[in-house]
Amino acid sequence: MPTTLESAPATPAAPATPRGLEGVVANESAICYVFGEEGRLIYRGYDINDLADHSTFEETAYLLLEGDLPTRDQLKQFRADLKAAQRLEKVIQRVIKDAPLTARPMNVLRTAVSASVFIDPDKGDNGTTAEYRKAVRLIAQLPTMVAMFHRLRNGQKPLAPRKGLSLAANFLYMVSGQVPDKDAERAFDVALILHADHELNASTFAARVIAATLADMHGAVTGAIAALAGPLHGGANMEVMKMLLEIQTPDRAEAWVREALAQKNKIMGFGHRVYRTEDPRAAHLRRMSEELGRKAGQPQWFVIQRIIEDVMKQEKGLYCNVDFYSASMYYVMGIPLDLYTPIFAISRVSGWCAHVLEQHADNRLIRPRAEYVGPMDRKWVPLRKRS
Ligand SMILES: CC(C)(COP(=O)(O)OP(=O)(O)OC[C@H]1O[C@@H](n2cnc3c(N)ncnc32)[C@H](O)[C@@H]1OP(=O)(O)O)[C@@H](O)C(=O)NCCC(=O)NCCS
């Protein structure tokens, strides 16, 4: 039982709470569930493998927000709503233009999302229909924000969203100026599907805690982006690619990992709080990374990764997670390393928004207690007597 401050003993007991809230069920949700032992993941009851094989990001985002797959007409309308909301208002463009060219894209994204509330037509309204419209605008605009900053820092003119493209193809177009081929578009679309939600991961929990104070959706998403940026969460994908670039060639891979483990370093892209077997998302990303790597004439990253996987399984019993193969897949697609985590955000925003909607639909403040382990009954000492 948690200790109350009023009854705390002189020597507080050891914390009873699991560190990092491991295994704690914090709320009910009908959006997404991770079956950690089996390595299964469902969105709204649909298996992630079915969604990865048959769905699109737009359809999946609709599913997360609405709870059901759209009909043909509903999907057409949803796509049209997203398309209509992709352009950025001048105020947001200015915020992005004012960012130093050396800024981290995740920080620019966080700031641009936060600033979006200034001009949001539904600002101040946390009702379901207003929040749904905000969600559509956020899903539509995050790709434009990321791409705009990227082009500005490269000294290139930002590109307006292009008509007739999926969200995945349009993002790749706005970053590179090239409409991707069908294979690249589909692989990227599947990656967006796979990243769209993941139950109460750290950034989604952060979003729900913020939303539960009845703060608005923009605030919740801003906080979620900040949480996602850390290397233990979404920031891991960029770190994976840095590691692969440092290893460089397959013949160096095994010794490199063994040495890193001997130094007690964490290998990015491995381990998970919930999965005790393979992350089901990793299998899709592994396959796509191999295919695109071969096509791009860069098969070595995949070979290095298979070696790392073997050593990690053997030495630590750990499986790779979503960030491991997404890194090499984005790399062979020519995407700059520091856009990997923003890409995670442009997908996960659909999940964050679904969770904010769910939280606000049946809200109670999230306010846990701490197990107090600090000193007790100390006497105040005047400043002049303190040494
Ligand atoms: C994801 C992660 C944060 C989960 O953390 P967690 O549930 O708190 O697990 P812990 O960090 O306590 O790790 C448990 C044990 O596994 C080891 N471990 C976990 N992930 C590891 C990794 N990537 N490399 C090496 N060892 C790892 C820890 O060292 C620890 O070993 P110990 O008990 O001997 O000290 C953690 O696995 C990690 O840091 N992974 C690398 C970052 C990453 O890929 N993040 C993206 C997650 S999708």
| pLDDT per position as a tens digit, 28-82 | 999 999 999 999 999 999 999 999 999 999 999 999 999 999 999 999 999 999 9
- Which pLDDT score, from 0 to 100, does residue 14 have? 54
Mutate to test the pocket of ligand 1, among 275, 316, 324, 341 (most ligand atoms within 8 A of CB): 316
Q: Which two tokens stand for residue 373?
A: 């382990």
Sign of the CA dihedral with 172 first, then 157, 150, and 113 last: negative
With cut-offs at 50, 70 and 90, classify the pLDDT of residue 284: very high
- Which pLDDT score, from 0 to 100, does residue 13 have? 55
CATH number attached to the domain at 32-232+339-361: 1.10.580.10
- Which pLDDT score, from 0 to 100, does residue 322 have? 96
With cut-offs at 50, 70 and 90, classify the pLDDT of residue 1: very low
**pLDDT of 173 strictly over 80:** yes
- Which pLDDT score, from 0 to 100, does residue 8 have? 47
In tens, the pLDDT along 185-235 reads 999 999 999 999 999 999 999 999 999 999 999 999 999 999 999 999 999
Based on the number of CB atoms within 10 Å of its own CB, is 29 exposed (0-12), middle (13-18) or buried (19 or more)? middle
Closest CA to 348 of 68, 42, 143: 143
Consecutive H or E run containing 184: helix 182-195
CA–CA dist 342, 338 (Å, integer) = 8
What residue owns the CA closest to ligand 1's atom 31? 316
Q: What does the mean pLDDT of the chain come to? A: 95
Q: Which fold has domain 236-332?
A: Cytochrome p450-Terp; domain 2 (1.10.230)
**275: left (phi > 0), else alpha (psi -120 to 50), else beta?**
beta
- Which pLDDT score, from 0 to 100, does residue 140 have? 98
CA–CA dist 281, 285 (Å, integer) = 7
Q: Which two tokens stand for residue 127?
A: 């009702």
The domain ranges of the chain are 32-232+339-361, 236-332
**271: left (phi > 0), else alpha (psi -120 to 50), else beta?**
left
Mutate to test the pocket of ligand 1, among 232, 259, 315 (most ligand atoms within 8 A of CB): 232
- Which pLDDT score, from 0 to 100, does residue 15 have? 54
CA–CA dist 44, 37 (Å, integer) = 19
CA of 266 from ligand 1 middle (Å) equals 7
Catalytic residues: 272, 323
**pLDDT of 352 strictly over 60:** yes
Q: Which two tokens stand for residue 4?
A: 């109350």
CA–CA dist 103, 371 (Å, integer) = 38
What residue owns the CA closest to ligand 1's atom 36? 271
What percent of the chain shows pLDDT beyond 90? 95
Are 238 and 340 in contact, with CB atoms under 8 Å apart?
A: yes
**pLDDT of 127 strictly over 80:** yes
Q: What is the DSSP letter of 11?
A: S
With cut-offs at 50, 70 and 90, classify the pLDDT of residue 4: very low
Sign of the CA dihedral with 208 first, then 213, 214, and 217 last: negative
What percent of the chain shows pLDDT beyond 70? 96
With cut-offs at 50, 70 and 90, classify the pLDDT of residue 343: very high
CA of 286 from ligand 1 middle (Å) equals 20
CA of 331 from ligand 1 middle (Å) equals 24
CA–CA dist 17, 8 (Å, integer) = 16
Q: What are phi and psi of 33, to 5 degrees?
A: -145, 140
Give mean pLDDT, residues 359-380: 96
With cut-offs at 50, 70 and 90, classify the pLDDT of residue 12: low
- Which pLDDT score, from 0 to 100, does residue 17 have? 80
Lining residues, ligand 1, CB within 6 Å: 20, 232-233, 236, 266-273, 316, 318, 321-323
Other C-beta atoms closer than 10 Å to the C-beta of 241 total: 23
